[in-house]
Amino acid sequence: MNIRILLISFVFIFLGSCSVPPVKVIQTTETASPTVPTDTALPSLPKPELGLTENPLIMALAPGFNSQEQIEAANVLASQFTQRTGYTVVTVVPDSYTALVDALEKDNAHLVLLDPYSYELAYQKGLVNAAFAVVKDGKPAYGSQFIASRKGGFKSYFDAAARINTADAPEALAQFENKKPCWSDETSASGYVIPSGVLNTNQIVTKPAAFVQGQPTVVRSVYLGGICDFGATYVDARKFPSLEDQYPDLMEQVIVIWQVPEVIPYAVWAFSTNMPQGMQDLYTNIIPAIMQTDDGKAAFKTAYGIEELVPVNDAYYEDFRDYVINSRVDLATLVK
């Protein structure tokens, strides 16, 4: 046999006896996108310190206070705040209290004047600390009163001469059990929310209420009878001019059963909880000083309708808060 042929045969025999490992096939597509490592993302820059020009304190006017004169007065206050504290302050005009609470939530408002409901909503969200109460008629808050017709056989637990209640709420208001109330409207603090909260707090169950739209109408309904057994109003809606003219004996026939203590705020000046405590303390001291100057007092009056402020804290509104909660009204629906 030819030696060349023998060699070739040997090679084929040798190769046939060897095992060749399989080849792993990786399937790819032309549309596949490469994976970008997450560690290559650019880091976010820290927000400048609050009060610097790049991140100023924002002072909000009350919704509806938006005349040019009011805006200019607010700018005067912002300028005084800046000069006295060194922190830059700018002003904004929110469209509504709902928008103002939203701005607080987004850290777009820091110095604010809130109505009672928006304050309570912002407080429940942990957005504000109360600093000052707006004073009207010498008082930082007002009350409410339960009224009923003398003809209905109800007993008064209010001493009109001394202007004090003569019994606690559970005793005085128990006579309204299973009776029908007249409320003013669904948003009225003195004519619905707080009185209903007082009744619920004292576990007094009434019949479904009639909402008669207006506190003088509550008084008239109680006087005339046929709609409800009792009602609630501000103190003292019975003296509304047209009522006294129309019903000369109204003050005698419609009696005050019990007065709710003065727990309803007029308005609350508050600081955002995003402001450091030291900064809040600084402004708590600065605001009374500005109010003592002629320019500062005039600016507060023009910009916010504020003539007097008294220092308070959130604990001051605890009774108001409890009655609002116990009224079972959806607080968000009260903020406009």
Query: Do 126 and 148 belong to one domain?
Result: no
pLDDT per residue over 224-251, tens digit each? 999 999 999 999 999 999 898 899 999 9
pLDDT per residue over 18-38, tens digit each? 333 333 332 333 333 344 444
Residue 334 included in any domain: no
Amino acid at 252: E
Query: Do 159 and 251 belong to one domain?
Result: yes
Residue 103 included in any domain: yes
Beta strands in 19-110 (DSSP E): 57-60, 89-92
Number of domains in the chain: 2
Which range marks the domain in which residue 147 is found? 141-265
Q: What is the full per-residue pLDDT of the chain (336 aa) written as tens digits?
A: 433 333 333 333 333 433 333 333 323 333 333 444 444 455 666 788 999 999 999 999 999 877 999 999 999 999 999 999 999 999 999 999 999 999 999 999 999 999 999 999 999 999 999 999 999 999 999 999 999 999 999 999 999 999 999 999 999 999 999 999 999 999 999 999 999 999 999 999 999 999 999 999 999 999 999 999 999 999 999 999 989 889 999 999 999 999 999 999 999 999 999 999 999 999 999 999 999 999 999 999 999 999 999 999 999 999 999 999 999 999 999 999
Query: Do 232 and 285 belong to one domain?
Result: no
CB of 228 closer than 8 Å to CB of 222: yes
Residue 3 included in any domain: no
Query: Do 146 and 157 belong to one domain?
Result: yes
Query: Do 63 and 179 belong to one domain?
Result: no
Closest CA to 214 of 228, 194, 234, 241: 234
State the SS3 of 264-292. EECCEEEEECCCCHHHHHHHHHHHHHHHC
Q: Residues 285-312, buried b or exposed e (16+ Cβ, 10 A)?
A: eebeebbeeeebeebbebbbebeebeeb
Report pTM: 0.84
Closest CA to 218 of 194, 188, 197, 245: 188
The enclosing domain of 111 has a CATH number of: 3.40.190.10
Query: Do 120 and 89 belong to one domain?
Result: yes
Neighbours of 202 (CB within 10 A): 16
Query: Do 146 and 100 belong to one domain?
Result: no
